Structure formats: structure tokens, C-alpha cells
Structure 1
């Protein structure tokens, strides 16, 4: 099993168990105590709120004052669709994955600057109500976030901006509402992973996911999770 996939599975079990010991987790995943401890340290660096309990019977707990269960997305059920290939032009953040937290302060500024320079982008797909779309590569060694808009063609890229072309791809789409912090988004993500697994579908961490907003600053975000296997686009719809 690839390391990225194993880390995701460990993260899911951490949220499910809430309280555990390193030995318990190491036995469950068939790895050494030291290896599991390293995984937990990596999760902590990525923002998973782990708390070390001291004492003979100590272990780890999720530091979560709300102690809530995994939330269901705002709209009942998940939508499975194929989104046609498209071009995206916008502004980017690219940092080591362990520096994810620093992007939380940068993202709003990125969107604000993009909004102020939107007229510089040529060939926007929509000339009326704007869809703000972020392409996100968030589960690998590099965190890459592009805040942008769809365009019908890539012309001259404005200074300080970038472009990305994404092929036709199958996604699972759900609506996330509320906080955009790591804990909130991870719990929604884990819920969707569980639902996908029940349907025999698998997430592809090597592909870009999408975040789609109808207006900036909105806490209601459509999340597109790329599916690992290919499908016949004629069997699905956007």
C-alpha cells in the first residue's frame, strides 16, 4: 500500500477511534511501534489535532472540544459525475505539504487579489455570474492550490498568474458548509471516503480535486473528489 494511502487510512481510524495507543494502531496496521509513531507525528504536523495523554495507560486522543461525530454533507447523498475537461487561470500557492497551515492565511488574500484583477483574464467562460474554482492537490508531498476561474481558451497569462488544464474526469461531489479549518474539512473528507468505499469507489490522491463557490467568502463550497478508476462519460452527467 502506498504511503499516502496508508496515512489517509491512519487518519480515518484516528478520527473514528478518538482515543487509542500507538501499540494498538501499530498492531491494527501491521507496522512497527516506531513506524506508527512516525505516522502520528506526520498527522500532527499536517494539522490533525492529536493530544498525548501522559501516564501508564496514556495514549493519544483527538483534541476536539465539540466531540462531534463525522458530519454528513449539507445535501443528502453524494453526486457522481464526469466533468468535461477545462482550462483554469488564476493565482497559485505551492508549498511543502507540512506547511499547509501557512496557506490558511494566504488563501483569502489570494482570492481578494484575483477578484481585483479578474478583468485581466482573457476568455472567461462566464461573463455574468462568476464561478470561482480552486484546483487543489492536497494529499501528497506538495500542497498546490490554484484560485481561479474557468476560461474557454488559454491566452496570454497575466503577470503573477498561472494556468492549468484538467482532462475529462469522474468526481464525487458533495457540499461542505461551515468552517474551512483542517479539522472541519478532514472530517467531511473522511465521511465521503467512507461513503465512496461503500460504493466500491476509490479516491485518487494524485489528481487535482476542485472547490467551487458561487461567491467569494461563502462557507458553502462544492467539493469535487477525483475517482481513481476511469468510466464511460456517457454513463454519467454533470
Structure 2
């Protein structure tokens, strides 16, 4: 099926369903999760009023004109995406690199990375412990590769334990958002989609060449502060 025809069918289905997840639409049209996500972004660029929500029951919705007006009116006082500058940080942790489309592989591997990291914390010198340990995931998608580092912040870089990596993230301006809900990839991706949408509306351009950060108080925390780098 030619892409133009497929896009028209997806647009028609979007308006019929009114609310849906990326996974549901990908299954319905027999394409990958990433491909459907790209199609939905293209529809948004064409003016389809898609609104991304995060959480257990998150997904995409088509907003009515009334909802668009209410959202615009509420945004100045209830803006969830904030522009912040985060100082340089250093982390040590465990990494995985998978094809971006290997959705279920990353869904399985991420919890195992965090479990192994927690079991090996004693091996990492100079861990930041005040006011509490700071768990940080560094995420980058480049050239179709999903690069994820499950780490802990350190005050200095000493010897890196076997099988681990270290990263120094320079001071950077970010769009910050607090994700509340599951920490699996599908829920996190929905939150990323929401933040990217708001960044576009607020005139912020994401920088795909820098690491996004996911900060949490515990390795399995349900509240995660997300930081998406803004292009200078």
C-alpha cells in the first residue's frame, strides 16, 4: 500500500477511534511501533489535533475544538513541562544497546539492568548519598539504536567496575517533566511523546545528539523526573 494511501487510512481510523495507543494502531496496520509513532507525528505536523497523555491508561486522543481552547487557556497556569538548566553530572552504571524497534527486548532488559545495578552498588566508588542516592538513566536514540544506561550519580569518577560504563553529562538546558506511573518503556515513551509535543508548542527544539535523563529516588520508583535536552 502506498504511503499516502496508508496515511489517509490511518487518519480516518484516528478520527473514528478518538483515543488509542501507539501499540494498538501499530497492530491494526501491521507496522512496527516506531513506524506508527512516526506516522502519528507526521499527522500531528499536518494539523491533526492529537494529544498525548501518559500513565497506565495513556495514549493519544483527538481533541475537539472546545478541548483545544480549554487546554490553551489552562496551559499558562498548569504547565507541566518546564524549562530548566541542570548542572553537570557524572554517572556510573550498566548499559544496553538495542535496535530501536526491539521494543519487547528493551521492556524485558531494563528491569534486569536496574536489579543488577542495585545488587552491585557496593562496587561503585564515590556514590552520591546525600540527601539520598540519585538513580539516573541516560537515554539516547541515534541511527536507529536505543542506548540506555541505568546508573547512579557519583561525586567523582574512580575506577569503573567490570562490565559497567561511566558518563559525564555536561551542564545542559532541558525540558523537565514529572512522569507518574509505570516505568516500562511503553509508559515512558508515551510521556516522551507528550513532552515532545509540548516542546513544539512552546517553541523548544529537542536535541537528539544529547542524552535525555530520567532521575528517580529508587531503582523501581513510579515517579520519574524526565529531562529532554533543548537544542542551543
Distance 2:177 2:215 in 1: 11
Contact 2:58/2:187 (8 A) holds in 1: no
Q: Deviations over 1:22-60 (max 9, x none)?
A: xxxxxxxxxxxxxxxxxx877435685x9xxxxxxxxxx
- Rate the CA distance shift 1:68–1:85 in 2: closer, same or farther, 3 A: closer
Per the alignment, residue 121 of structure 2 pairs with 118
Give, in angstroms, the shift of residue 189 of structure 1: 2.1
Per the alignment, residue 149 of structure 1 pairs with 152
Per the alignment, residue 207 of structure 2 pairs with 204
The answer on 1:220 being equivalent to 2:223 is yes
Q: How does 1:47-126 map to 2 (within 5 A)?
A: 69=60, 76-126=79-129
How well do the aligned residues superpose, as a CA RMSD in angstroms? 3.2
SS at structure 1 position matched to 2:101: helix
Q: Deviations over 1:98-152 (max 9, x none)?
A: 2242011111111111111111111112255211100001364211111111112
Give, in angstroms, the shift of residue 95 of structure 1: 1.7
Distance 1:139 1:41 in 2: 24
- Rate the CA distance shift 1:163–1:18 in 2: closer, same or farther, 3 A: farther
Distance 2:171 2:59 in 1: 36
Distance 1:18 1:184 in 2: 25
Contact 2:179/2:225 (8 A) holds in 1: yes
- Rate the CA distance shift 1:189–1:126 in 2: closer, same or farther, 3 A: same
- Rate the CA distance shift 1:79–1:44 in 2: closer, same or farther, 3 A: closer
Q: Deviations over 1:135-175 (max 9, x none)?
A: 00136421111111111211100111110111111100101
Contact 1:47/1:101 (8 A) holds in 2: no
Per the alignment, residue 13 of structure 2 pairs with 19
Equivalent pairs counted in the alignment come to 179
Q: Work out which of the residue numbers 24, 29, 33 in structure 2 matches 1:44.
A: 33
More helix by share: 2
Contact 1:46/1:100 (8 A) holds in 2: no
Structure 1, unaligned runs of 5 or more: 1-12, 21-39, 51-65, 230-238
Distance 1:144 1:128 in 2: 29
TM-score calculated relative to the size of structure 1: 0.65
Per the alignment, residue 21 of structure 2 pairs with none
